[in-house]
Amino acid sequence: MGKTINVSIEVERVQTGIRFEKRTLKVLKGLAEYLDLSLGDLLEGVVLHAFDGKTPFSKETLAKVRELKKVYGLDLDSTASHRMREP
């Protein structure tokens, strides 16, 4: 197995205003807190993993996601991603 090299990568971040389904955002914020990450860092990591076709979460982290989904009443999954609408 290759050795991971911890080298900082300089990036330019921008502030953005995005809209999220309320319960989904609560789960994301709870997960970020659990992982001791900012919400932005969590989202960047998820997106970069998705861009590479990789899952961003370990089995343990997915278990925490399931727990947080129960706590916040989030019953949506990936099949809802292009079917959500606002009243």
Give the model confidence (pLDDT) of 27-43 as tens digits.
Answer: 999 999 999 999 999 99
Residue 1 covered by a domain: no
27: closest CA among 67, 54, 55?
Answer: 67
Q: Give per-residue pLDDT as tens, 36-71.
A: 999 999 999 999 999 999 999 999 999 999 999 999
Residue 69 covered by a domain: yes
Residue ranges making up the domain that contains 35: 22-73
Domains identified in the chain, total number: 1
Look at residue 79 in the predicted model and tell me its pLDDT: 94
Residue 7 covered by a domain: no
Residue 8 covered by a domain: no
Say which residues have a Cβ less than 8 Å from residue 1's Cβ, sequence separation at least 6: none
User: In this model, does residue 15 exceed pLDDT 60?
Assistant: yes
Stated pTM of the model: 0.86
Residue 32 covered by a domain: yes
Look at residue 76 in the predicted model and tell me its pLDDT: 95
Residue 41 DSSP SS3: helix
